[in-house]
Amino acid sequence: MAASNDFLVFAGGAGANVLSQPQYAARSEIPTGVQSGQASSALFNKTVRQSSIIASMIGQFIANQSGANATDDGTTATLLANFIASIQATTRRRFTANTNFYVNPSTGNDTNLGLTTAAPFRTIQGAITAISSLWDFAGFAATINLADGTYTATSGQSIAVFGPGTPPMTLVGNIANPGNVVISALNGAALLVADATLTIGGGYTLQATGTGTGGSAGIGLVCVNTGSVNLTGTVRFGACGFSHVRAAAHSTILLSSPYSIAGAAPCHTYLDTMGVIASSAAVTVTGTPNFSNAFALVSQNSCLTNNGGSFTGSATGQRYNVTSGSIITGTGSTSFFPGSVAGTVDSASFSSYS
């Protein structure tokens, strides 16, 4: 059912008792209003019609563009919110500088502009979608600031950054207490970057349920389809159904800032279909998690490189498993990655340590 509009044009019908436009424009009351006595009915009707036409037009704009009713209940709060949503749905704003946006799962609303902590978005996906669709970034970047709380994607879906038209984004949470900001997925990826660029500013925990090597289910951070991710701030990886990090389909992930592993997964890093992960991070492993597939699973012509990173803590399971024409290389040794079982490299693949 189409949204309704309570704001109706007064005296707009055929043969209405109103002054003609030339008659109205010539009235001496136009500059100062009626001073004494009574206005003629034709003057009154014309005056009300001019106001009501504009009100009706705005009401119809709200109904058409926001999908919400334009309701005359004597209050303005809902009308204003729906009017703002209608404008957002039909216009694009232009960045003039690098711009901060804010998300709060408790106080936010995805119809907000998200430009202040007083009017934040409610969901990360709401912020990403609005920034991508409503803003021309003009060479500038967006920073999405996350308030403390839990952000959970709809079951079976991922919080996603899609497409080459998406502006460069940085996602930042609580740097001092990354456990206070939790990004969680149910049978999806906590963060999915596809054919876009995302900077992980840190300050949050990534966790996901679900399993499977052919998609994003159960993965904390996924980068696919020539996407690019750079970890520049501390992130905490919680329990994941398949892996903490996946790079696939000609995508690249740079792990260039310290991070921690606080939950188990069948594998920590999973690379396939010419994915690339380069790590120079100092990684802290807590609780001796078990990696039942391998800490590092590298397959299908992919490349995992360690550029001076380090690991503190221990884990159980195979250290790495490199197959199908893939490469594992960098500083360290064959026992560099955490685990209790030696790593393996098949005959079609290559490993090199210095």
pLDDT digits (tens, 9 = 90+) for 51-72: 999 999 999 999 998 889 999 9
Amino acid at site 351: S
| pLDDT number for residue 331 | 76
- For tokens 């004597």, what's the residue? 74
pTM: 0.78
**CA separation for the pair 201, 43 (Å, rounded):** 63
Report which of residues 211 and 71 the model is more confident about.
71
Nearest CA to 257 among 236, 234, 223, 285? 234
Cβ density class 202-215: b for 16+ within 10 Å, e for less: bbbbbbbbbbebeb
Per-residue pLDDT band for 146 (boundaries 50, 70, 90) equals very high
Of all residues in the chain, what percent carry a pLDDT higher than 70?
Answer: 99
Residue 142 has pLDDT above 90, yes or no: yes
H or E stretch covering 23: helix 21-25
3-state SS class at 83: helix
Return the pLDDT at 148. 98
Helix (H) or strand (E) holding 80: helix 77-90
What does the pLDDT look like over 175-186, one tens digit per residue? 999 999 999 999
| Sheet with strand 327-330: strands edge to edge | 99-103, 142-146, 169-172, 197-202, 228-231, 252-255, 276-279, 303-306, 327-330, 350-353
Determine the Cα–Cα distance for residues 298 and 307; give it in Å rounded to an integer.
Answer: 17
Average pLDDT, the chain: 93
pLDDT for position 354: 57
Report the run of H or E that residue 100 belongs to, with start and end: strand 99-103
pLDDT > 90 in the chain, percent: 79
Which of 115-129, 211-225, 313-327 shows the lowest mean pLDDT across its residues?
211-225
- Is pLDDT of 213 > 60? no
Using alpha carbons, list the distances in angstroms from residue 331 to 215, 272, 276, 284, 352. 30, 22, 16, 18, 9
Provide the token pair at 261: 């592993």
How far is Cα 267 from Cα 304, in angstroms, rounded to an integer? 14
Q: What is the mean pLDDT of residues 225-245?
A: 96
Find how far residue 85's CA is from the centre of its chain.
18
- How many C-beta atoms lie closer than 10 Å to residue 4's C-beta? 12
Asked if 201 and 225 count as a contact pair (C-beta separation under 8 A), the reply is no
Phi/psi of residue 234, nearest 5 degrees: -65, 125
Q: What is the pLDDT of residues 277-335, one digit of tens each?
A: 999 999 999 999 999 999 999 999 999 999 989 999 999 999 999 999 999 998 777 78
Which domains, from first to last, does the chain contain? 1-91 (no CATH), 148-353 (2.160.20)
